[in-house]
Amino acid sequence: MRSAVATVLVALLSACGAGFDATSTQTYAPSDGIQADSGDIRVLNALVVAREAGSDGAVSATVVNRGDRRDRLTGATSPDGTVELSGTGDLPAGGSLTFGTGGDATATLRGLARNPGETITLELMFARAAPVRLDTVVLAATGDYAELAPAPATSPPSP
């Protein structure tokens, strides 16, 4: 009887050893991209897809508004290229905005200064929420990501 009680106590007490920093309580992105938060705004699976440095890169991400008031993406910047946004930046209360193939909007980095495999910094600005700064990765435009990269620039035909 004593050994059964001791076994149960050891099992219960050892589970408490993980504390408040247990792996199960830590946020992580189960994907290639990263996550970031700013108040009611959460950015999910953010990454950039490009063919090579000097080419254009495409941002793939989902921006979620977990609040009860509308917000709007007003801009995006990066020290690693010029960010061009198109489409709507509206974020309804409880809604989302997706960048990438088939998404609501697009974000293209022109003249990308990073190679696939390197990190890149993006900053997203909103009408209500504080800006979200992301340090994410540039992925090569191969495999599942091949269709996300912007088409290579073409030269005009020579006369």
Contacts of 142 (CB under 8 A, 6+ apart): none
Give residue-wise pLDDT tens across range 97-129: 999 866 678 999 999 999 999 999 999 999 999
pLDDT at 47 over 60: yes
**Mean per-residue pLDDT for 18-31?**
52
What is the amino acid identity at position 39?
G
- Asked if residue 97 lies in contact with residue 89, where contact means CB atoms within 8 angstroms, the answer is yes
What is the amino acid identity at position 151?
A
29-142: what fold?
Immunoglobulin-like (2.60.40)
pLDDT at 138 over 50: yes
pLDDT band of 92, cuts 50, 70, 90: very high
Give the pLDDT score at 116.
Answer: 92
The pTM of this model reads 0.75
Query: What are the structure tokens assigned to 151, written together?
Result: 């088409």
